[in-house]
Chain A
Amino acid sequence: MRAAGTEASADAATPAPAPVSSSVGAEADDLAAPLYVAWQITNECNLACLHCIEESGPGKAFPDELDAAQVFSVIDQLMDSDVPYLSFSGGEPMLHPQFFAMVERVTSRGAELKIETNGHYLTRENCARLKELEVKAVQVSLDGAIAASFNRMRVRGDFDLAVQGLRNLRDAGVPVEINFSPAKFNMNEIGAAVDLAYELGAYSFYTGRTMYTGNAVKAWRHLQIEDDEYERFFDTLRQKVGEYRGRMRVYFHEAGLLDELRYRLQHPAALIIVLPNGLVKLINALPFVCGDFRTQTLTEIWANFRHAWRDPRVAAFVDELAVDPGRTRTLHQWVHL
């Protein structure tokens, strides 16, 4: 046996782990399967948020979303391949007709599962069920410290309902994370939002830059934050990191999208994005599709994923973003690799 020692434990995480999609730092090439599967289980949503990347909303479920047999088949493949960590998002994942059955299928096989929700269905009963099923965490979007800004960002949303949902999670003993998307009209609340997250029992707070894509393209004049405003935003967050050290982790992703994508080109994360219809994307912020769970196995998709990151069209798209950052408006025009 050769020495294990310090050589054995290299922290491969990326330096700034704010958005989940960028935080699973182990590189894909050497791994037998993904380490993390971020699954948008439906595009249906009760809200129609100004900044929604997925353009989700009422009646926005894809016509070809995976049926019950297909979703359980995908879960079984992921579990059989020992994928240790999944997230369910949307749309609003709790609207999926098989939501709790899917959660149970994952957690009963020993994988960790995070739910990313708008918090409007976190009744006491649902929180008790999530606790019983031992989800790793529930991440709730809270884009504001007060009702006016939250309700403006989360069209059809109800701040009080989301906050009550967070209290129900805390009371049920479910670990809570909070995500905050900044806009021109809520960015000055960032300090108060961090304080509120702590008061509501969160163990982590995430934020970063809001992307110019999806619904945000149409609402950009209400959302856009200038560079000097972002500097103040991140300054406040730096103070909050220190203030809450040891009590709540405050994560923020300061780098712009272009820097993130250039890093990913060299170091693809062991993460796949599964869309509601079973298509698999390289990463949320690129339009490239590298697989389809309706017709391919995880093994096939994973092999293609690793090749796809080296496809010259991917690097070319990132180069084009440097010239025209507005290219992100085309992320929903999928390109199959």
Chain B
Amino acid sequence: MRLAKFVKFREEKFGGVLFETKSEKVFTLSTSAAAIVREINVGGGDEAAVVARLKEQFDARDGDAIEREVKAFVADLRQRGLVEE
């Protein structure tokens, strides 16, 4: 999984932005969403790999929540055409 062609990511104080430059749409991201996109952008891999890396960075007690949120968020990104395999 990686960011789709023409999609750009930039981190900001509030989290980040995803810019789909083909349709010229901008999506603002919270800090947690930006953390997920950063892992997709830099590390790649499938959802499980992204979850594993995020669990290492954040409190492991939240592991189930991280997994749920990554799954839901990645589904949203896919539905909007912002990531590709």
Contacts and interface: CB of A to CB of B under 8 A. Distances in A.
Nearest to A175: B22
A203 B73 CA distance: 28
B36 to A, nearest CB: 5
A284 to B, nearest CB: 15
Given A9-B73, A32-B12, A84-B8, A4 B22 contact: no
Contacts of A13: 23-26
Contacts of B30: 2, 4, 7-8
Interface in B15-66: 15, 17-19, 21-33, 35-36, 54, 57-59, 62, 65-66
Nearest to A17: B24
B1 interface: no
A2 B27 CA distance: 19
Interface in A13-54: 13, 17, 20, 23-26, 30-32, 35-36
B26 A35 contact: yes
A24 B59 contact: no
Interface in A119-137: 136-137
Contacts of B36: 4, 8
B76 A24 contact: no
Interface residues of B, number: 40
A301 B77 CA distance: 33
B73 to A, nearest CB: 4
Given A1-B54, A4-B32, A25 B25 contact: yes
A1 B66 contact: yes
Contact of A17 (B23, B33, B65, B70): B23
Contact of B69 (A3, A23, A35): A3
A35 B23 contact: no
Given A6-B72, A8-B30, A84 B12 contact: no
A104 interface: no
Contact of B24 (A3, A20, A30, A203): A20
Nearest to B34: A8
A246 interface: no
Q: Which of B24, B27, B54 has the most CB of A within 10 A?
A: B24
16 contacts: A1-B32, A1-B69, A4-B32, A4-B73, A5-B73, A8-B33, A9-B18, A9-B27, A11-B25, A17-B24, A23-B25, A24-B19, A24-B26, A26-B26, A82-B10, A137-B22
Interface of A: 1-13, 17, 20, 23-26, 30-32, 35-36, 82, 84-85, 111-112, 136-137, 175, 203, 249, 270
Given A12-B28, A35-B17, 11 more contacts: A3-B68, A4-B35, A6-B72, A8-B32, A8-B36, A9-B18, A10-B28, A25-B26, A26-B17, A85-B21, A270-B26
